Chains A and B, each alone.
Chain A
Amino acid sequence: MLAFAQLSLEAFVGIFSPIFGQKSWRLSALFSQMVNIGVASLPTVALANFLLGLVLAIQGAGQFEKLGATNMVANLVAFSILREIGPLITAVIVIGRSGSAITAELGTMKVAEEIEALNVMGIDPVKYLVVPRLLAMLLMMPVLTVLGEGVGLFAGWLISVGSLHLDPFFYVQNSIEAVEQKDLFTGLLKALVFGGVVGTVACFYGMQVEGGAEGVGRSTTKSVVTALTSMLAMDAILTTLIYFT
């Protein structure tokens, strides 16, 4: 726990130090990580959000039909995707896709003495390896979340217009009325926090690897499980803070 706090602190100091005139970020490393984490995750994130948008609309329609309020589907979809489902499912996909990859990559480097080699060359592995990954996570998670939410909302609209025969314009208007700007921003705040959680956890477990290929596997499992549970815990905490106070 102490080691985790120390690594996170060092990494965040590394992220902010260029702002105070220290050595700049490694832009090429940052961009390649942003492509890895962000651009490459986009199809999966979009697909997951699309499917959940569909499911939400279908499940919602079943319930609202009993009340004779099918047009409430718009409220349900907009509300739950922006506040909860969008950030959550995006984080789940990123954990599975990129968080695990970061742990495995750093772990393999640790096993192959590459991290030690960096140390011996006088290069700080936190600045060289962790900072670009964590910063890419922090930047890309909100971006992926916004794009995912867009796809999810579209899926809800598609079902509502296509099979529930709701009026397409009325649906959009209903959606907009159902949510506030606050909902969008809190969703994005969540995404940012999730990015920080996933990035630090994935890097921490990667740097912790001991004992060959088996160790890489073990740490990757731990990393995914820890990232998922801490992400859900942060979600609960943030939701309570934002909506109950």
Chain B
Amino acid sequence: MSEPQTKHKSPYALEVRGLTRSFGSRKILSDVSFKLKRGEILIIMGGSGCGKSTLLRHIIGSLKPDAGEIYIDGTEITKLNDRELSNVRKRFGMLFQTGALFNSLTVGENVALPILESSDVSASIADLVVKLKLELVGLTGFEHLKPAQISGGMKKRVGMARALALDPELLFCDEPTAGLDPVMTAVIDTLTVDLTKKLGLSAVVVTHDMTSAFRIATQMIFLFEGRVIASGTPDEIKNNPDPILQQFINGYADGPIPLKLSKDDYLKRLMQA
């Protein structure tokens, strides 16, 4: 499917430099920088609303930053036009939060779509690739069902199969394990690790599932209010004394991470009443 692997331009599969983006007066990302080596799995952690989905949308080229650069295998993507961007995009796969399968197509057609659209392969070859990819996610024999007929977890696995259809060099996963049972989570995690080990794929996974994150990560960054406040290997993150980070990875309710409604306000409100 893909071109024979040519010499890589850069030792990094992905590099983000000084990424900044505001929506109105709200700064969602400020000066975010990190690098991802080939064959590694980078976990982007952070609470809800910390900007991790926005960051991912910038990396896949859906959003343009106010400042900063994004290099995918050495190619700067923030200034590319649509056609150049779509060429870069053919080299990566993306697993969306809800799978983003097309409801009018069957499971098999969903997986075949990127194959048939990107090249002139015959339907029978596409069919073979579909079978291989579905086997990879453990869904052989489900080709003829519509997305509405399968469970949420299965949709995610089909989404994974589709993301892998073109043998990408770089895989992006947006909350790949949210809403999955522990066994399915482990299956998806193992699959991600296997792919990076066997195929040399690099992966960027956005998640707040800490068990899953520490199981697969080789690199982690922690986003808080649009900034990278910690980065390193899983061990470095675990041993980082930052109270915000510790509260997050251990899942404590009390700590420095502000809640919308703090105790003081609540008391004041009670007194006023």
The answer to whether A and B assemble together is yes
Q: Residues of A with Cβ closer than 8 Å to B?
A: 109, 112-114, 116-117, 119-124, 128
Mask for B94-112, Cβ within 8 A of A = 1, else 0? 1011101110000000000
Interface size on B, residues (CB 8 A): 22
CB-CB < 8 A to B86: which residues of A?
Answer: 119, 122-124
Q: Is B113 an interface residue (CB 8 A)?
A: yes
Most buried by B among A112, A114, A119, A121: A121
CB-CB < 8 A to A121: which residues of B?
Answer: 89-90, 113-114, 117-118, 162, 166
Q: Is B62 an interface residue (CB 8 A)?
A: yes
Indicate if the CB atoms of A120 and B98 lie closer than 8 Å. Answer: no
**Residue in contact with A117 in the complex, picked from B82, B92, B100, B118, CB distance below 8 Å:** B100
Indicate if the CB atoms of A117 and B94 lie closer than 8 Å. Answer: yes
How many Å from the CB of A95 to the closest CB on chain B?
Answer: 22
Mask for B63-97, Cβ within 8 A of A = 1, else 0? 00000000000000000001000110110101011
Bound Cα distance A122, B77 (Å)? 14
Measured CB to CB, the nearest residue on chain A to B172 is A120
Could you list 5 A-B pairs, sorted by A, with CB under 8 Å? A112-B98, A114-B101, A117-B94, A121-B117, A122-B86
Bound Cα distance A121, B92 (Å)? 8
How many Å from the CB of A21 to the closest CB on chain B?
Answer: 15
How many Å from the CB of B104 to the closest CB on chain A?
Answer: 8
Indicate if the CB atoms of A116 and B62 lie closer than 8 Å. Answer: yes
Q: Is B60 an interface residue (CB 8 A)?
A: yes
Bound Cα distance A123, B101 (Å)? 14
Indicate if the CB atoms of A122 and B60 lie closer than 8 Å. Answer: no
Indicate if the CB atoms of A117 and B96 lie closer than 8 Å. Answer: yes
CB-CB < 8 A to B100: which residues of A?
Answer: 112-114, 116-117
A-B pairs with the 4 shortest C-beta distances?
Answer: A117-B100, A122-B86, A113-B100, A121-B114
**Residue in contact with A120 in the complex, picked from B87, B89, B97, B118, CB distance below 8 Å:** B89
